[in-house]
Structure 1
Amino acid sequence: MTTDAQPPPSIDTSRAHPARVYDWLLGGKDNYPVDEAVGERLPPEARDGARQNRQFMHRAAAWLAAQGIDQFLDIGTGIPTEPNLHQIVQNVVPSARVVYADNDPIVLRHAEALLVSRPQGATEYIQADVREADSIVRRARHVLDFERPVALSLIALMHFITDEQDAHGIVRGLVETLPSGSYLILSHASSDLFPELSDAVVAEYAKGGIKLAFRPRPEVERFFDGLDLVPPGLVTATDWSAAGPAPVSEESGIYAGVARIR
């Protein structure tokens, strides 16, 4: 893989970062005491949610690759945790091309070493924030052909973008850059499935300086406006499976869906 030819950005270890807290929740070691402090204060269900979210991504990406989708734009990548998205899809389509984007400098450090494509395919990493959508798409065009279908992956990302930051507008703008036959993969923490638990998670992240915007089902469904949801539609992360019955029976506080762009 290649990365933009820029000096490595500095890593701020004085403030928690969502990607590093998520790494801690998944049992990773690529985080700092400030991130661990946030993770340790979270309810134990937060670890379950991180695992469920990751498993949803695996199922959704593999299903799309099996449908012939061979281009993926994954924004909010997080610290690489095997199997990564490109490993999932290249196991199905070895020539698949994947562009990752994240705003945490530590992700760049690990991406250079770990997000390595199969020889037949390609991976690229972009250091950028989802709020810099135009820049992400412009740079992704160096790897992805936007004249052919692309799967846009926004996994557990948009609940870090508030309504004031126009979360729905950001997703709509990204979707509008994609051709017909593309897909949106999205998961989002709920505010209405387990309200007390959601409030506790939001409060603990806030203590670490991270603002969350958990949303009720109708507000999550808005991200899919104008798109065709793939059965089973917008469901919890553990209930989503387009290839038959869901593999587990487990409660989840995360909404998840995959939709086709008309």
Structure 2
Amino acid sequence: MPSISSLSPGNLSPRARKMTTVGIGTAGAAALALTVLPGTADHGDAGQATAARKVNAENVAFSSHSSVLPKQGKDIAAAQHSLIAVPEGAQQVRSVKDATTTAKSFTTTDEAADAIRAGAKERAAKADAEKKAEAERAAKETANRSEQRAAKPSYPDNLDGWIREAMAIMDKHNIPGSYEGIHRNIVRESGGDPRAINNWDINAQNGVPSKGLLQVIKPTFDAYHVEGTSWDQYDPVANIVTACNYAADRYGSMDNVNSAY
């Protein structure tokens, strides 16, 4: 097989050298890697000439297609441009996505703002409802206190008030007695002193002195005590009510008592 050096321009005809130079100039160093047909080594110069003609023919054929290269270059450039355009397109897609995300974020912000306003409105409504309920409770308590005062009128803390309060209780328990009859017996028994006590009569000698406005002894007070009144024997209202209850049982009414009873 002839060596690569046997195909050098010095071994070729002037025409072959010219065409070979063109082919090499156009295709570059890679065009020299040509395959030589078998058997050229056996024919000496004739084989070399044949090989040279083959090389020239192939170079001519190769160079004849060199006009295609510009189009291929354009195609390659177009391909390269398309490769560059892909990131640009991706950037455009990202820009659209960013815009969409931004729009969504604006929507989310608006919705959050609406939710905040709705929450504030709800809290305000709840606060108003609580305030209204508190006002209603206060009004109801005031009304209840008024009703209680109306149901249980206050009485002055004196003899007149004690008698009138005692008569209100007696009326609920159907215990008879008039203002005049109660007042008259109180003046005779204690002179209107709720802390009066008798320490010299027979009851005192027996260890159960008479006490209070109507001078009631302890066994009588306990036996004729009226529910809802004080268990204090000196309490003026409880003393009057108990004494009138006893007098009603013994004399029909405190009005019928004109002396010690």
TM-score where L is the length of structure 1: 0.18
Structure having greater relative contact order (Cα 8 Å, sep ≥ 6)? 1
* Rg larger for: 2
Structure 1 or 2: more strand by fraction: 1
